[in-house]
Chains A and B, each alone.
Chain A
Amino acid sequence: MILRRRDRGPFENRLVIAGLVLPGMAVMVFAMVVPLGFSVYYSLTDWAGFGDYQIVGLDNYKEILTDDPVFWRSLWNVLLLILVTVFVQNPVAFVLAAVLSHLSEKMSRFLRTAYFIPAVLSLVIVAKLWVDIFNPTFGLLNKVLIAVGLKSLAISWLSDPRTAIWAVIWIIVWQGFGWALLFYYAGLMTVPREIEEAARIDGATWFQTYTRVIIPYLTPVISSVVVIDVVYSMKQMELVYLSTGGGPGQLTQLLGVHLYQKAFVASEYGYGNALSVLLVVVSMGMALVVQRLLRGGQDR
């Protein structure tokens, strides 16, 4: 034989590989990929969820993009959420993580545990908790405001159009804070002591040590956290569903809630599916674009 059969080692055993990979893949295809395919199909119809329907081509998408202010409002809200997360929550978390990294292990562990508690609570509890705190009649926030003499500020936070979206963003950022802190703390733990000490010996103040040495060293971590922030923001839905339902006047709407209401409340199942497809496309697109942008920044 001229053709020699390639010698297959045990780590190339196809049967074993298939046995390991296919079950997991099958579940993902069954519960993620095929549903997405169904969504694409129904997004091309005018189905109400019952009765007959017709294929309407890209009409649903056309309507969403040109004639659905709630869609654009939802995207805008997600953008706001991402911006607040990246530029407000993350810096606070970073500073706090830096302080924690200088404390004794016991103290730091205790505080990290406390900071992370909101992150393990069910969204149903978090939503209900803050709806009650923001409640205009018995809510904690207004009681505090009245107690310190700011009665004029005591408003109905989640239903006032001026404050509703900020109240919602606050809740999401509050719950996600523990994660941001955790990521930055773990990142700071990887900074070699030597480079910090070298900077000190060269006469750098602690502020310079952070801005010139530690933060540049942690750029990959910061980039990863920002990508995670984007994905986390795109996945928000239940909190709005449970707290404001998208109101007042659709001001706090998110894509997930919008598609739910379109399909199950307004009986526009086809239209809801088009929103669902766009949600996936936007989520993937945002994650990839942000990742590329940050990676590109690092190369230079």
Chain B
Amino acid sequence: MRRPLTKLLHVGLVLFAFSQVFPLLWVFIYSIQKSGDLFGPELLKLPHDPQWENYARAFTDGHILQYGLNSLMVVTASTVISTALSFCMAYAIARMRWKLKAFALGAITLGMVIPIHATLLPNFIWFGYFGLIDTRVGIVVPYVAFTLSINTLIYLGQLRNLPTSVEEAALIDGASWPRILWSVVLPLATPATVTVAVNTFLTNWNEFIIANTYLATDELRTLPFSIIRFQGQYSSDYAAQFACMVMVAIPPLALYLYFSQRIMAGATAGAVKG
């Protein structure tokens, strides 16, 4: 009695998983067909003769290489900076004793609530004073600022669970603070570092509205723009559009599949602890 029921349950669960992944599969299937095939009456036309040249077209017309490198630069910079700064803040909150600590933690937590697009309008004036509009730095700064809150909280969860004895011993031995943080604490906090770095990378890799609004120079634009570009300029070339979407989706998917356990463990730490 139990066996068939369990089997049925498994089938149901796999079907549900399929529904989460199916739209992507649909895009992939039509990315290797001719654009006209999309308009056929059949639900899903399996490709007999895969049109891989769609990918070549998407790659050049979508400026994948250039936009991809731009994304890589902006996102790597913001990930490294945000990880470093949030580690320092979390350490000061977890270990050091200072008066404004509770206030600082409250302010950092509140920062999580503010949507990044709330700065969309005022930054035109404020960043304008520093010549940061239409520059990479002008994108990196908000990308760092808007990931600091969550990252600090993830690090805080980890640091509070680490013993203090090692640091105290190192202090007595006369080690300097930078040395303690870099070679004693940071290695112990590696799980949190992986979570923080991967999450920041994914968030900023996928960020669209700030990049789209503030980067007007084509040489600076980031990867999500390649899809927008396609919609405008080659709107009837559906096959290449779909190919473009697949290529843009691959880097975050690969990163996620490789690190999925760490992302999940870290991302939930905050919620479960309340």
Contact = CB atoms under 8 A, between A and B. Distances in A.
Interface of A: 9-14, 16-17, 19-21, 23-25, 27-28, 30-32, 34-39, 42, 49, 96, 99-100, 103, 107, 109, 111-118, 120-125, 128-130, 132-133, 137-138, 140, 143-144, 146-147, 174, 177-179, 182-183, 185-187, 190, 220-221, 223-225, 228, 231, 234-235, 237-238, 241-242, 256, 259-260, 263-264, 269, 272-273, 276, 279-280, 283-284, 287
Given A39-B122, A122-B223, A237-B117, 16 more contacts: A16-B92, A28-B148, A35-B123, A39-B118, A111-B17, A116-B264, A120-B255, A121-B252, A122-B206, A124-B208, A125-B245, A182-B267, A186-B264, A237-B115, A260-B209, A283-B114
Nearest to B241: A128
B274 interface: yes
B268 A183 contact: yes
B227 interface: yes
B111 A28 contact: yes
Contacts of A121: 24, 206, 249, 252-253
B26 A133 contact: yes
B9 interface: yes
Contact of A124 (B17, B117, B145, B248): B248
Given A20-B88, A120-B256, A283-B115, A129 B20 contact: no
A12 B116 CA distance: 34
B232 to A, nearest CB: 12
B272 A259 contact: no
B9 to A, nearest CB: 7
B104 interface: yes
Contact of B14 (A21, A111, A129, A241): A111
Interface in B182-209: 202, 205-206, 208-209
B145 A31 contact: yes
Interface of B is mostly: helix
* A-B CB proximity, top 4 nearest: A31-B145, A38-B122, A186-B268, A114-B17
B38 interface: yes
Interface residues of B, number: 90
B141 interface: yes
B24 to A, nearest CB: 7
- Residue from B121, B146, B264 whose CB has the most chain A CB atoms within 10 Å: B121
A117 B272 contact: no
B79 interface: no
Nearest to B144: A27
Given A99-B13, A128-B231, A32 B145 contact: yes
B27 A14 contact: no
Contacts of B21: 114, 117
Contacts of A34: 126
A261 to B, nearest CB: 11
Contacts of A256: 115, 117-118, 209
B26 A143 contact: no
A280 to B, nearest CB: 5
A200 to B, nearest CB: 16
Contacts of B223: 122
14 contacts: A10-B171, A20-B96, A25-B89, A27-B141, A27-B145, A32-B145, A35-B122, A117-B24, A121-B206, A122-B249, A186-B272, A256-B209, A283-B113, A283-B115
Contact of B121 (A37, A185, A272): A272
Interface in B75-98: 81, 85-86, 88-89, 91-92, 95-98
B152 interface: yes
Interface in B29-73: 38-39, 41-43
Interface string B114-136: 11111111111110000000000
Given A20-B92, A99-B9, A31 B120 contact: no
